[in-house]
Structure 1
Amino acid sequence: MTLDEAQIDAQLQVMAERLRTARFARGLRLIDVAGMTGLSEVHLYRLEQGERAPSLRALLALAAALDLSPGDLLTSDSTAPDRSAPHTGRAVWTGTEQTGAGEMIKGAVRVRYDLAHRANPELIEDADDTVGSPEALLGMAFAGCFSMALASDLDAAGYAPLRIETFAEVQTETGPGGMALSDIELRCEATVADIPDAQFQAMAENTKRSCLVSRALAAVPARLDARLVSITEE
């Protein structure tokens, strides 16, 4: 049977997915696989995007490096996790790091950023609402994910979350290796009906450890100050 172009493209996508999955599962970077196989990083990237078909020699080298059989790279894996549609964002930077500026873009939302505001977050507080930093957006994502996950956990436990507000403070430090995230502090105020404070604190702490963004930021220490606000205070 002769494969048509559509079938070939579909097979290349299967192989690309298997390559990415196998590499990620082993904690390997493209440069690591390049060193193990003799293939260039650019070529490996194109293989993982389904843009190129590997030669037989490359297929055998990749299979050996990833501890797979060549057939494993050419068949879909029914046990692989389902992937939802990606969440997208875009950034455009113009000029050098020192003197340039950029925009982080999501739909009609545009957040301007530059080195001065990134290095001195207090300047953001004095700017208009269109100025921010990648770290501020990271904190917003953590706060949003935590709040939504906590509402889900409370509801699953039989409690009614009325309002959850979370503030995230992302701390950076500069050392010999350059700038790095040093820690993140979440400050949460929640109005929840009929829940003992001790149980709320335990659930909030568990959510802080397990929500999606928290797991993605596992290498960054995160602290939580959670306060249960009574309905009469609200």
Structure 2
Amino acid sequence: MARQKKEIHKVEMTDGKRAIIQQLFQEYNIESATDIQDALKDLLGGTIKQMMETEMDEHLGYSKSERSDSENARNGYKTKSLNSSYGSFQIDVPQDRQSSFQPQVVKKRQKDISAIDEKIISMYAKGMTTRQISETLEDIYGFEASEGFISDVTDKILPQIEEWQSRPLSSIYPIIFIDAIHFSVRHDNMITKLAAYVVMGINEDGRKEVLTIEVGENESSKYWLGVLNSLKNRGVRGYPYSLL
């Protein structure tokens, strides 16, 4: 199956957008790309605060400018630091006397709004070390993420990998391709040679399907036997043609 290209956002200018951009230049005195980023960060913080004010109005049942006999009422603000794609910034979160307000736009314990977990896993998949990922996050987003934090995030994908490795397979694959990719890894300050054993099958509908990827020691017939037996345990009963 051909890999789908990532859709590229096409900017379409309108009179309304031009007016907003012109006002942006006037308000923030923009002269560089950094100025644009700072302006967007400021606007993002202001937008989030306004959305929270609206949520508080709905929570209390009346707006900030109205009077009410309700037992609950606004009770000032609490400063909260957030990390975003535009960097770190602070917002003022509205509070209520009963402490029953649960904002949804940015939840109470949420500190990041840039889907940072997905970014970490993406960098990890590209072969970056936890130290490199930590340094990259600090350089781009302006906040420090410890190597332990990076490891905690990447560990989240392990159950998904295990589930994928043990999923049931079709009983028949007319053709399967088997191969091994050799690579070196550093473990306990030593370089070790490993192999990724890859089995890809073409199912009865003619579609390619990666059946398994297992990492083990250097390629051997004994290890391949174990890989093929694991496919049998997952339901595969026949593959008339095998291409090595």
Q: Same fold, TM exceeding 0.5?
A: no
TM-score by length of 2: 0.28
- Structure number having the greater helix percentage: 1
